Amino acid sequence: MARGAVFLDRDGIINWRIADGYVRNALEFHFLPDFFHFLLGVRQLGLLAIVVTNQQGVAKGLMTAEDVERVHEHMQQELVRHVGFGVDDIFVCSDSAESQSRRRKPEPGMLLEALQKWHLDPRNCWMVGDTITDILAGQRAGIRTILISHENVPIADFHAPNLEAALTIIAAHQTVPAPYHNLFHRNAG
């Protein structure tokens, strides 16, 4: 099977989103409780975990690119501490929404860069996000999409109320190693 990946939005998927604000430092970064289990599941499915995140707070002068990098270093260190490994790669677009950047979601630039860098097969890739811009970026990159939301937005390929449900969807559409399949589904029934 060709190499696949799960592309992850950051704020609202990996960590709590700050209402009308930006995560500017490690003190403001707090993992969502189900992300550790989700990341373990992604790894057990043999998929890469790649973050693709818009961080226009840099363009607005609210934080620096170095601040974002420090937040990601903290995130990676905490992931290693909790699950034994971090995400495989992180792509950041710090351009403003007005810039019309091809890298900024909903445009697919970051995803296309990752597909090329990691030699990924789009048919074995997923975009998991909590906004329409995440879903549009995934579709424009030619990959399947899962919207984490309680709203049913027709453009997403799949909808899930949380990461556990998203992992079930991904597992159902991948070649699942038997030990993982049994481990994961013991909680589903």
Q: Which residues are catalytic?
A: 9, 11
Q: Is 128 helix (H, G, I), strand (E, B) or coil?
A: strand
Q: Tokens 């030699």 map to which residue?
A: 119
CA distances in angstroms from 83 to 9, 21, 32, 136, 163, listed in the order given: 19, 28, 14, 30, 16
**How many Cα atoms within 13 Å fall on the side-chain side of residue 156?**
24
The CB density around residue 83, as the number of other CB atoms within 10 Å, is 15
- What is Dmax (Cα atoms) for the chain? 49
Residues 6+ apart with CB under 8 A from 49: 5, 6, 8, 39, 42, 43, 87, 88
The β-bridge relationship of strands 89-93 and 158-160 is unpaired
- Residue 108 to residue 68: CA distance in whole angstroms: 21
